[in-house]
């Protein structure tokens, strides 16, 4: 079976027009069978039913036992081999990889101080940004999806279809609220997911960061206090400093998400003006807050009349299940949830197309702030994105992308387990392309970051993900690029440097 360049389970397109309907049904059934078998074996590997290094039943054994075709079973084994869970040994059969993620230990995060803090960032944030953007570095510090995994061919075809008349039209300014066709496509994507969203409810922004910035500016003034999860996306910290706002860090569990009980205590003791949370595929933890948790969180904030900015930039990169994770806005009864997102993680980071669902309370002010700062988002980028969405290829692309990113993240996690010191802790994320890794307390993540740079490897030191400078013995590794032999060697080098830090 031919593997895709991305390392994902191969996509089987529908037969060409003219093929018999029955042929299409048979192929669809075959794909379902091998995927179902692969998923069942993968689950048994993860829960320890099949132990690391154990030989799996032969293809002929499974053929006789399950009454499945030899081709179907072979495809399932190759799919598992592709993501690194299974090894093929010549003349011996298939074996479970000797490295297992079953016994991963969840990182133990330090408790933040439940009081407002002033953001005092240094030049470290700019230094880290420069390092993770350096093309000479192995990009293990970036949260960006590699362009190899993005639909560049489809975009190239769209560019070629632009006529002289189209070009003349898109040379002009767009509306402040955004391209009508793009807002229509975004509203259509909300059908069956979030009720009552029309194109008029959406404001297009220059990336998700502008969306978040406009929301913060619409709600907060200098000296106000914002509640955030900790750790958090390090790119927010400079923004908080420039706005002159105070920050309270709310503890966030790598599996369960934000600690709602801790937030309730903070709300009772501190005048919180707004919250900024990432309930769907948190950066850097990869956490997915449960629907029960989301409902409880929104009800709590509604009772206190506290607005919450919902950063959903990675919400489409979920791994488990067939349904996109719910938004906080689903449970909002007071129009206090402002939802922000973009296409930067899934389609085209260079286009800088984001959007915000501000709700009626904040929409007018956000439009005024947008008009008074960037005027509008680039018209050509919005036109190209609208045409791409109209073409209907986005869902298929997302299915392939999720599989590729999950496979890359799985392989990277297994490499960390294999090469890092034994007491290293990490939990496999619910989605996205980030691994949050706890090292031995004697290892300084900043020191490891500097030593990694000397070896042309860019990682993210955990200390930059906190206002208070916690997480000194943590690092973040990005898995947005295809896993290669170079990636494996880079992880091996990081493990060696971590052991060196322990000895020193």
* CB-based contacts of 92, cutoff 8 Å, min separation 6: 55
Task: Choose the weakest-confidence range: 51-55, 168-172, 455-459, 471-475.
Answer: 51-55
| CA atoms of 251 and 257, how far apart (whole Å) | 9
Q: Is 177 helix (H, G, I), strand (E, B) or coil?
A: coil
Q: Do 42 and 84 touch, CB atoms closer than 8 A?
A: no
Residue 245 pLDDT greater than 80, yes or no: yes
DSSP 68-136: --HHHHHHHHHHHHHTTSEEEETTTEEEE-S--STTPPPP-PPPPPSS-EE----THHHHHHHHHT-TT
Note the pLDDT tens digit of each residue in 445-503: 999 999 999 999 999 999 999 998 899 999 999 999 999 999 999 999 999 999 999 88
| CA atoms of 149 and 151, how far apart (whole Å) | 7
**In the chain, pLDDT over 70 holds for what percent of residues?**
92
Q: How far is CA 68 from CA 22, 74, 164, 287, in A?
A: 19, 10, 56, 37
Give 267's pLDDT tier (boundaries 50, 70, 90): very high
| CA atoms of 313 and 432, how far apart (whole Å) | 10
358: tokens are 């501000």
| CA atoms of 314 and 285, how far apart (whole Å) | 12
Q: Where in the chain is the domain with CATH 3.40.640.10?
A: 151-390
Residue 1 pLDDT greater than 70, yes or no: no
pLDDT of residue 320: 72
DSSP state of 13: P
| CA atoms of 180 and 195, how far apart (whole Å) | 19
pLDDT of residue 34: 86
21-96: in CATH 3.30.1660.40: no
Residue 154 pLDDT greater than 70, yes or no: yes
DSSP 357-384: E-HHHHHHHHHHHHHHHT-S--HHHHHH
| CA atoms of 293 and 328, how far apart (whole Å) | 10
Q: Where in the chain is the domain with CATH 1.10.10.10?
A: 21-96
Average pLDDT, the chain: 89
pLDDT of residue 102: 66
CATH code for the part of the protein at 151-390? 3.40.640.10
Q: Is 209 helix (H, G, I), strand (E, B) or coil?
A: helix
374: tokens are 């960037």
Note the pLDDT tens digit of each residue in 275-330: 999 999 999 999 999 999 999 999 999 999 999 999 999 999 998 766 789 999 99
């Amino acid at each position: 079976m031919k593997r895709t360049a991305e390392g994902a389970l191969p996509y089987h397109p529908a037969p060409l027009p003219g093929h018999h309907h029955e042929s299409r049904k048979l192929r669809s059934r075959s794909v379902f069978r091998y995927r179902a078998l692969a998923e069942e074996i993968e689950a048994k590997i993860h829960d320890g039913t099949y132990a690391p290094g154990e030989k799996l039943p032969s293809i002929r054994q499974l053929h006789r036992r399950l009454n499945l075709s030899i081709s179907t079973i072979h495809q399932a084994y190759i799919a598992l081999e592709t993501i690194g869970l299974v090894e093929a040994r010549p003349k011996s059969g298939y074996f479970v990889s000797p490295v297992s993620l079953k016994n991963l230990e969840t990182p133990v995060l330090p408790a933040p101080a439940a009081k407002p803090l002033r953001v005092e960032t240094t030049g470290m944030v700019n230094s880290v940004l420069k390092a993770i953007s350096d093309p000479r570095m192995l990009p293990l510090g970036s949260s960006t999806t590699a362009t190899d995994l993005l639909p560049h061919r489809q975009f190239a075809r769209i560019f070629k279809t632009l006529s002289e008349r189209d070009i003349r039209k898109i040379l002009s300014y767009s509306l402040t609220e955004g391209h009508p066709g793009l807002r229509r496509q975004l509203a259509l994507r909300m059908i069956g997911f979030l009720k009552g969203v029309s194109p008029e409810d959406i404001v297009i922004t220059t990336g998700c960061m502008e969306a978040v910035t406009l929301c913060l500016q619409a709600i907060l003034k200098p000296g106000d206090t914002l509640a955030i999860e900790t750790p958090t996306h390090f790119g927010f910290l400079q923004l908080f400093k420039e706005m002159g706002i105070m920050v309270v860090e709310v503890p966030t569990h790598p599996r369960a998400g934000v600690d709602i009980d801790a937030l309730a205590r903070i709300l009772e003791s501190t005048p919180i003006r707004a919250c900024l949370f990432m309930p769907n595929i948190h950066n850097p933890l990869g956490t997915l807050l449960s629907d029960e948790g989301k409902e409880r969180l929104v009800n709590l904030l509604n009772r206190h009349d506290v607005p919450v900015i919902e950063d959903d930039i990675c919400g489409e990169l979920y791994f488990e299940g067939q349904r996109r994770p719910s938004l906080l806005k689903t449970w909002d009864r007071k129009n206090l949830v402002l939802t922000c997102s973009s296409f930067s993680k899934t389609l085209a980071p260079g286009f800088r197309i984001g959007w915000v669902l501000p709700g009626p309370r904040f929409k007018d002010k956000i439009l005024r702030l947008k008009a008074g700062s960037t005027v509008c988002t680039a018209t050509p980028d919005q036109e190209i994105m609208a045409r791409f969405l109209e073409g209907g290829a986005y869902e298929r692309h997302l299915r392939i992308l999720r599989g590729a990113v999950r496979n890359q993240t799985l392989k990277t996690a297994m490499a960390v387990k294999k090469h890092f010191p034994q007491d290293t802790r990490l939990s496999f994320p619910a989605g996205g392309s980030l691994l949050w890794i706890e090292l031995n307390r004697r290892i300084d993540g900043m020191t490891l970051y500097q030593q990694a740079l000397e070896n042309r490897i860019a990682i993210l030191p955990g200390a930059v993900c906190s206002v208070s400078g916690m997480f000194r013995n943590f690092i973040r590794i990005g898995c947005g690029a295809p896993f290669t032999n170079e990636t494996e060697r880079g992880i091996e080098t990081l493990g060696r440097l971590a052991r060196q830090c322990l000895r020193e």
